[in-house]
């Protein structure tokens, strides 16, 4: 799953950081963002210990916020470049990464970013129809099926903040895998 490499050998880099203090589809790039333990990205609309995603708030506003931080690999933008022009932050992610296949990480993986921040991976982003309002046809491009017919979601991963810290473009990302057996990522 991770090319047989040890966790200490897996490393990536932050390409961009973004936030929006309103519930907008895209987020604006920033010089840096502050991750706050148990709450997410300071000044972002999804900041909080309980769910902030509007449709989930309507179902139950007291459920835990497993979507405090959204990460997308820059490699997805490169893969889609023939049909879509997407810049970091435009798909609503807080952190755009390079060098790590985020979708292959198991649940509960820890991402140590920069000097202090730690994110625990909670699951996959489940893209909705809003994505087609941004660019028509994009939903079909980021959701597909594998050879066995299983749904594949390519719109990034979600996580919660375990340790506070500042994150900026150029920061290194170190990966700490959870104990085996690994749990496959599911939508959150």
**DSSP annotation string for 110-144:** EEEETTTEEEEEEEE----THHHHHSTTHHHHHEE
What domain range includes position 123?
7-176
DSSP state of 9: G
- Residue 44 domain-assigned (yes or no): yes
In the prediction, which pLDDT does 168 show?
A: 98
Residue that the structure tokens 């129809």 belong to: 129
121 forms beta bridges with 159
Local confidence band at 6 (pLDDT 50, 70, 90 cut-offs)? very low
- Residue 2 domain-assigned (yes or no): no
Q: pTM (2 decimals)? A: 0.93
Question: 16 near 5, Cβ under 8 Å?
Answer: no
What's the CATH code of the domain at 75? 2.40.33.20
Count how many domains the chain has: 1
Whether 92 has a pLDDT exceeding 70, the answer reads yes
């Amino acid at each position: 799953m991770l090319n047989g490499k040890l966790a200490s050998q897996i490393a990536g880099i932050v390409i961009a950081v973004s936030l929006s203090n309103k519930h907008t589809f895209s987020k604006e790039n920033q010089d840096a963002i502050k991750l706050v333990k148990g709450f997410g990205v300071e000044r972002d609309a999804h900041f909080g210990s309980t769910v902030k995603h509007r449709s989930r708030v309507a179902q139950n506003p007291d459920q835990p916020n497993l979507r405090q931080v959204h990460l997308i690999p820059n490699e997805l933008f490169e893969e889609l470049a023939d049909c879509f022009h997407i810049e970091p932050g435009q798909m609503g992610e807080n952190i755009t990464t390079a060098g790590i296949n985020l979708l292959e990480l198991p649940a509960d993986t820890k991402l140590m970013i920069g000097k202090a921040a730690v994110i625990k991976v909670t699951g996959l982003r489940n893209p909705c129809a809003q994505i087609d309002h941004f660019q028509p046809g994009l939903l079909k491009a980021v959701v597909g099926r594998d050879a066995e017919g299983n749904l594949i979601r390519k719109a990034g991963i979600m996580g919660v903040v375990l340790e506070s810290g500042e994150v900026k473009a150029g920061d290194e990302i170190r990966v700490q895998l959870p104990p085996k057996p690994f749990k496959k990522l599911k939508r959150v």
